Structure 1
Amino acid sequence: MNLAFQFVRFGVLAVVTVALLFVAGVFAFIPGERRAAAAPAVISADEAAATLAALKPPMRARPVVALVGASGGTETTDYLVPYGVLKRSGVADVFALGTKSGPVSLMPALTVVPDATTAEFVRRYPDGADYVIVPALHDPTDVDVRDFIRAQAARGATIVSICDGTLVMANAGLLDGHNATGHWFHIDGVAAAHPTMHRVRDRRYVADRGIVTTTGVSASVPVSLALVEAIGGRERATALAQEIGARGWSAEHDSGAFHLIRDDVWMILGNLFLGLIHGETIGVRATDGADVIAVAFMADSYGRTFRSRAVVLGSAPVRTAEGLQILPDAGATPDVVVDLPRDQPAFALDSALAGIKARYGGATSAFVRVQLEDRGHATGR
């Protein structure tokens, strides 16, 4: 869920809305502080085994994975991190798709050239994918994405939503009658609008009869590793986790630790004001061979501060280690340039949060982490 994108998009409306809420007294019902994260409930061996079984490839021994993005706006990390993890794993054939020909604009940052369109994918794989991964979209009612995931589900694909991809799944009617989770900002509304869906708390990801859902953005790492384990075995998943800098991929989670507090609202208003005076451009130094996981976490994090936007520097497209093309912002003049970690790309999130804290303060860094639904090591690091 990209709260920064939502507030910047509506600009003055966000300020007016918060002011009206304050006058109406609603502000008083926003908690004054965020409680400390509790130790997540331990997942039983039986539950873990059932989840693993539910994630097994439904058709092929070497599965086909399609990540579907809407050309008009797709969440950065939701789209790129599963692509990077699964590509690096070598256990599946992985395709980044767009609904139309041409680049896919990601939010809050980056523009990429997908491997194919959804129509091209259908022609190549008429029997469908084994897994379809659905990120959060700028428009969760996107008809092209809705029709694609419905058709793939009908062909037997396991449909995996990341973060507010839950909204896309709900609008497609795929969550009715299923256990599910989602990003803390919207999941209550999804559950209210779909009363036959059973919301599962305190789980990073939930797998139920061909439908897999996750909590916030950073859950893209553990659910991707869980898929690697289901496809290629625990040994491969363990080795990959070490390669990328992930400590594990358990579904354990503390859902109650993530919510809006009053200090967040004041921080958002302050940062919006400062951003209007001088919004900063953060240049991400990425060259050919860069890891797409690291690029995604770095750009996504800096795009959520309400004071900055992130761009990839350069004059030519960057081809990542996984083969995906990222288009640079050739005309950008960065206020500061940040480098990617050389090893273990998942640590780009820690690096970004540390940089945000140093530049914009602890309140901004903390709320970026809350937007990502990462309490610190919640990605599995």
Structure 2
Amino acid sequence: MSKSFFIWGGVALVILSLAGFGGWLLTLPAGTAAAEAPPVPQQEADAMLAALKPKRERPLVAVIGINDATETTDYLMPTGILRRADVADVMMLATGEGPVQLYPALKVEPDATIAAFDAAHPEGADYVIVPAMSRDDDPAALAWIRSQVEKGATIVSVCAGAKVVGAAGLLDGKRATTHWYYLGELLQRSPTARYVADRRMVVDGTVATTTGISASMPMMLTLIEAIAGRAKAEAVARDLGVERWDARHASGAFKITRPFATTVLVNRFAVWNREEFGIRLEPGMDEVSLALVADAWSRTYRSNATTYAASTNAVESRNGVRVIPDGSGTGLPEDRRVSTYPDQRPADALDHALDAIAARYGERTGNVVAMQLEYPKRATD
């Protein structure tokens, strides 16, 4: 990092301090103490799997998104993981016609609108995956989710998708969790929901909720285990690079600390020092790795990821996700072209992306990204 970056970052913090933010920063903890994830009783794990058992031998899974802003990894990772497992039919849906703009990166073509899905499948889905969305109160999304519940669907929210599920009235009186940053907001809006700490996923009846963005990986593996058994889930986990996928979680490790807040503030105020990184879309590429890497590089507050391809036509991934490139060709220098690590498994690709972010912007920025993903970062070789 340049000397001028630190100077202007310091000026930004002085301005914030004069505006009253300095006192707030001093109230934050200096860091998070090492936290151990408590074990999950076997009885609880068995009950979770039992609650997620499908009604049909080959269930139908619908992943719902709103067209203008649905979270990247929440939308793509469940789709990619469940399709590579081949234990269910999986459809990516949108509330309206046209592509789904994901945030903080990527744009994709959905498989169908919710209206087309209802016409083709009047019996409804077995499972509905609800990602985080830019609006928790989208009328079309809420009405459709409620209609699927009435038809017997199990609802699985990812990350702040719990706020959408709560807005639909489906968390009233239920045990639940969500992304650490949105927990207070969720409980304020759904005051009868009962927060369960130290769990990466919580299932209560026909509603499942998870913690942060990266929790969709263990959640989908748990769903695969419920549908097709432990051996199938283990095979998919090996393919993903995941060692375990139980509900253990150290909730106390994820909170706003002074280093987190100051890093975000300094990075956000360094408006002259933004970087754009390009990801080349290739037919057959792994959509899970793509989602994780693009998401991570777009959460540094210093950079964003865009995509390019040989043409502006949609590029189909390994498991049939059609990604629309942001442009054809690239004028970006080589050091601003980001790899999705095609020779690595998706979980390892995320670890390498976090290492690359830390190498470019510093360890604190890498930690900021991991904290947003609510991801317990692993060491890489």
Common fold: TM-score over 0.5: yes
> Does the CA contact (< 8 Å) of 1:128 and 1:155 recur in 2?
yes
TM-score normalised to the size of structure 2?
0.91
SS at match of 2:216: helix
- Counterpart position of 1:354: 355
TM-score normalised to the size of structure 1?
0.91
List aligned pairs for 1:312-327, cutoff 5 A.
312-314=307-309, 315=311, 316-327=313-324
Between the aligned partners of 1:367 and 1:321, the Cα distance in structure 2 is 30
Q: Which of 135, 152, 168 is 1:139 aligned to?
A: 135
Between the aligned partners of 2:222 and 2:305, the Cα distance in structure 1 is 30
SS at match of 2:172: coil
Instruction: Give the AA of the match of 1:26.
Output: W
Size of the aligned set, in residue pairs, is 361
Instruction: Give the AA of the match of 1:22.
Output: F
Distance change (3 Å), C-alpha of 1:18 and 1:151: farther
- Counterpart position of 2:192: 196
- Counterpart position of 1:281: 276
Which runs of 5 or more residues in structure 1 are unaligned? 1-13
Between the aligned partners of 2:193 and 2:252, the Cα distance in structure 1 is 19
Between the aligned partners of 1:74 and 1:349, the Cα distance in structure 2 is 20
Q: Tell me the CA shift for residue 333 of structure 1.
A: 3.9
Q: Tell me the CA shift for residue 285 of structure 1.
A: 2.4
List aligned pairs for 1:1-381, cutoff 5 A.
20-22=19-21, 25-36=23-34, 38-57=35-54, 59-274=55-270, 276-314=271-309, 315=311, 316-330=313-327, 333-335=331-333, 336-341=336-341, 342-377=343-378
CA offsets, 1:111-169, max 9 Å, x none? 00011111111111101100000000011111111111111011110000000001101
Between the aligned partners of 2:28 and 2:142, the Cα distance in structure 1 is 34
SS at match of 2:146: helix
Distance change (3 Å), C-alpha of 1:204 and 1:21: farther
Between the aligned partners of 1:75 and 1:125, the Cα distance in structure 2 is 25
CA offsets, 1:326-362, max 9 Å, x none? 0111166435112222242222211210110111110
Distance change (3 Å), C-alpha of 1:192 and 1:104: same
Between the aligned partners of 1:18 and 1:330, the Cα distance in structure 2 is 41
Instruction: Give the AA of the match of 2:296.
Output: S
- Counterpart position of 1:9: none
Between the aligned partners of 1:18 and 1:108, the Cα distance in structure 2 is 29
Between the aligned partners of 2:60 and 2:265, the Cα distance in structure 1 is 44
Query: Cα RMSD over matched residues?
Result: 1.8
Between the aligned partners of 1:131 and 1:186, the Cα distance in structure 2 is 24
CA offsets, 1:156-212, max 9 Å, x none? 100000000011011111100111000000112212332211100000000111000
Q: Tell me the CA shift for residue 19 of structure 1.
A: 6.4
Between the aligned partners of 2:364 and 2:164, the Cα distance in structure 1 is 31
> Does the CA contact (< 8 Å) of 1:284 and 1:298 recur in 2?
no
> Does the CA contact (< 8 Å) of 2:167 and 2:189 recur in 1?
no
Instruction: Give the AA of the match of 1:29.
Output: T
Report percent identity of matched pairs.
44
SS at match of 1:185: helix
> Does the CA contact (< 8 Å) of 1:65 and 1:94 recur in 2?
yes
Distance change (3 Å), C-alpha of 1:141 and 1:20: farther
Q: Tell me the CA shift for residue 377 of structure 1.
A: 4.6
Instruction: Give the AA of the match of 1:348.
Output: A
Between the aligned partners of 1:214 and 1:84, the Cα distance in structure 2 is 18
Q: Flag the structure with larger Rg.
A: 2
Distance change (3 Å), C-alpha of 1:197 and 1:97: same
CA offsets, 1:40-74, max 9 Å, x none? 111111111001101111x3211000000100100
> Does the CA contact (< 8 Å) of 1:282 and 1:338 recur in 2?
yes
